[in-house]
Amino acid sequence: MTSLISNPGDWAGLSLPARLGHDGSCLLGLAVILLSAGWPRTAFGGGFAKVRAAVFAGSWYEGNRADLAQGIQAYLAGQNRPAVPPAEGAVEARSWAEAGRCPAAVIVPHAGHVFSGECAGQAFRLLRGRSFRRVILLGPSHTLAFNGAALPEEDAFATPLGTIPLDRPALQELQKREGFQILPRAHAREHSLEIELPFLQEALAPGFELVPVVVGHLDEPTLRAVAAAVSSIWDDQALLVVSSDFTHYGPNYDYVPFSDSIPQRLGRLDHGAVERILARNRRGFENYCDSTGATICGAAPIRVLLEAEGRRPLTGRLVEYYRSGDQLDDFRNSVSYCAIAFFPPAEGETAPAVEAAESSPTRLLTREEQDLLLQLARRTLSQVVSHRPLPEIPRDLPAGSVLRETRGVFVTLNTWPGGDLRGCIGNIFGEDPLVEGVIQNTLASASRDPRFEPVSDAEAAHLRIEISVLTPLHPVAGPEEIVAGRDGVLLEKGGRRAVFLPQVATEQGWGVPELLRHLALKAGLRADDWKAGASFSVFQAQVFEEERPPGGGR
C-alpha cells in the first residue's frame, strides 16, 4: 500500500494544507475508512477495559494488517535504504547483535514510515526475536504543552497488528513519583509513541508489556526525578526506547541557520549532537542544543535517557543516519533521522565512563593565555569564512595549563566600531578543553547562530572577537542573591530556560528586575513569570576582547 503522508517531518506547527493528502482529502477520514475495512476486531478488544485506538494508521503508516506487517519486515531487512554512506558504528552494532549482545536502549525516529522507517528498522533489527518483560517508550509531546511526564489511562494500545497490554503495576509506580501525572490528552493524538508500536510488535518476541510516557518540559529537578523513576523500572528485562527525529531544517520548521552547502552542514550539525549522546554527556547535549538552536524534537526524552543511563554502564553506537532530503533529493525542507543503540558491556569489558560535564575549579587566565585564545579564535574565524579546515589544537600546552581545563566559554562577534552583535554562541557547562571550546564556538558563532546569516569573508576582518570564560554554575535562592553586571544568570521555569552573560546587564543598563524580565521573555515566558516558580543559577565570567579587528572600521 502506498503511504499517504505528505510531509517527511512532524505535522505540528505546519499550515493546514500540509495536513491534507495530495488530493485535498482529510487523512483522518481516510484512516477511518481503512480502519473499518481492513483491521481485525482484536485490535480494539482483547478483553481490555480501555484501549487507545491507533490514530495514524492509514496515513502515517499502513492501515491494513497484512500490508503493515510486510512493510515492517522490509524495513527490518533494510530493503529500501537511501543511497547514502553507512553510518559509522553500524557494522560493529550488527556484529555485536549477531554475536548475541542485545541493546538495552535505542533512539529511533518517528516520522511517517515511508520516510523514517528504514532508519528505525535498523535499530529494531538488532532486537529481532528478543524477549523483554517490559518496554519503556519515551516520546516528546507535539500536541500539548505541559511540565513533567504524562502517563496514559488506558489498559492497552492498539495498532492494526493487534493490542499491546500496558504494564499497569509499573505505571502505578511511576504515578507515585515526582514529575509524573496521568494526562490522557497528551496521549490522545501523539504520534511519537504510536509510530514505534508496529516495529515493537514485529521485531520483539511476544509477551512484553508497554510503559508509554510522553515527555513535556523538564527543568533540572524534574528531569532528575523523572530519570530516577525511569531507572527504577529499567532492569535487565526491560528495553528503553526513545522516539526522536533530529534536525528539522527549512522554512516549514522555521529553522534556516544556513543556506548553502546544506547537506554537508546538516550532517555536521546532527553529528555534533550524536557525538555528545554517544559520549553519554547530558550536559554537553543540552549545551549543544542551546547554542545551535538544534531542532531535535525529542531532546527532552533524550535528556531523560542520558540522565538515566548514566546510572549503568552502556556503550552507544550510531546505527543509521540519513535525511528526508536524501530521499527526496530536495533539502529546502528536510528532517534528519538517526538510529542509536546502547549495549551493556560484554563479559570482561568495561564500558566507557560518562564524560565529565561540570566545569573545573576557577582560575583566572593570564594575559598571555588570553592573547593565545584570541589569536586562536581569529585564525578559526578566518579559516571558517574562507572554507578552509579549522586550526589544529595547540599540542604544546603545559600539563597544568588552564587552557586544558574543561570550562564553559562563549565567543561573541561584534561589528567595529559600532559594536552591533553579529554572532554569539557558547556553552555554560564545559564540554571540551578550553582551547577546543574556543575553536568550536567561534565556528558556531560565525556560521550557526540562527539569528544571523553566516559571516562572509569580506566582513570577518571588520568584526571584533570577545571571549567569555565562565566560572562553574551554582544555584541561588532567589533574585536577592543576584548582582547585575557581576553575575550571568540562568533562569529555568516549566522546562523553559534562558541565559544572559554578566556583561549583558551592564551593556543594557539593567538592574536585576529588568534583567530577569528580559530573561523571562527570552525563555518564551511572560515578562513577570520570574517572580514565582522560577529557579536561578549564576556564574561569573572573565571577559576579554581584541583591541581592534585586523581590518579596522568600515
Contact criterion met (CB below 8 Å) for 208 and 135: yes
Assess contact for 340 and 105: CB atoms under 8 A. Answer: no
According to DSSP, residue 429 is labeled: S
Q: How sure is the predictor about 31, in pLDDT bands with cuts at 50, 70 and 90?
A: very low
Name the β-bridge partners of 488: 539
Supply the CATH classification number for the domain 16-343.
3.40.830.10
Strand, helix or coil for residue 541: strand
Average pLDDT over residues 252-264: 88
Amino acid at 10: D
**Is the pLDDT confidence value at 132 over 70?**
yes
Q: Which three cell numbers stand for residue 244?
A: 526522536
On the question of pLDDT at 22 being above 70, the answer is no
What pLDDT band is residue 415 in, cutting at 50, 70 and 90? very high
Q: Is the pLDDT of residue 185 over 90?
A: yes
The winner for highest mean pLDDT among 25-29, 120-124, 284-288 is 120-124
Which is more confidently placed, 283 or 120?
A: 120
In this predicted structure, the answer to whether residue 431 has a pLDDT above a threshold of 70 is yes
Cα-based distances in Å from 98 to 95, 124, 527: 5, 13, 56
Let me know if 552 is exposed, middle or buried by CB neighbors in 10 A (0-12, 13-18, 19+): exposed
Per-residue pLDDT, 525: 92
Domain segments of the chain: what residues? Answer: 16-343, 367-545
DSSP state for residue 272 in the 8-state scheme: H
Q: What does the pLDDT look like over 498-524, one tens digit per residue?
A: 999 998 998 898 999 999 999 999 988
Q: How large is the average pLDDT for residues 264-271?
A: 88
| Cα–Cα distance, 375 to 373 (Å, whole number) | 5
pLDDT-derived band at 395, boundaries 50, 70, 90: confident
pLDDT band at 20 (very low <50, low <70, confident <90, very high): very low
pLDDT tens-digit profile of 147-176?
Answer: 999 999 999 999 999 999 999 999 999 999
Give the residue with greater pLDDT, 14 vs 5: 5
Is residue 45's pLDDT more than 50? Answer: no
pLDDT digits (tens, 9 = 90+) for 352-375: 555 544 333 467 888 889 999 999
Taking alpha carbons only, the member of 123, 120, 242 closest to residue 192 is 242
**Least confidently predicted of 115-124, 378-387, 425-434, 499-508:** 425-434
- Per the model's pLDDT, the better-predicted residue between 81 and 444 turns out to be 444
Longest dimension (CA), the chain: 77
- Compute the Cα dihedral for 185, 522, 425, 430 and give only its sign: negative
Q: How high does pLDDT run on average in the chain?
A: 86
User: What band does 311 get if pLDDT is binned at 50, 70 and 90?
Assistant: low
- Per-residue pLDDT of 195-246, as tens digits, reads 999 999 999 999 999 999 999 999 989 999 999 999 999 999 999 999 999 9
Across 473-484, average pLDDT:
89
- The separation between the first and the last C-alpha atoms of the chain, rounded to the nearest angstrom, is 61
Would you state the cell numbers that stand for residue 346, as one nine-digit string?
Answer: 560484554
Q: Does the structure show a pLDDT above 70 at 351?
A: no
Q: How confident is the model at residue 21 (pLDDT cuts 50, 70, 90)?
A: very low
Q: Taking a C-beta distance cutoff of 8 angstroms, is the pair 340, 314 a contact? A: no
**Strand (E) or helix (H) holding 307:** helix 299-309
**Entry pTM:** 0.66
Amino acid, single-letter form, for residue 221:
P
Rounded CA gap, 181 and 144, in Å?
A: 14
Q: Is residue 178 a contact partner of residue 227, using CB atoms and an 8 Å limit?
A: no
Which residue, 250, 343, 325, 329, is CA-closest to 295?
Answer: 250
The listed CATH number (3.40.50.11610, 3.40.50.300, 3.10.400.10, 3.30.700.20) that belongs to domain 367-545? 3.30.700.20
> Could you check whether the bond before residue 472 is cis, i.e. omega within 30 degrees of 0?
no
Number of CB atoms found within 10 A of residue 56's CB: 21
Which pLDDT belongs to residue 182? 97
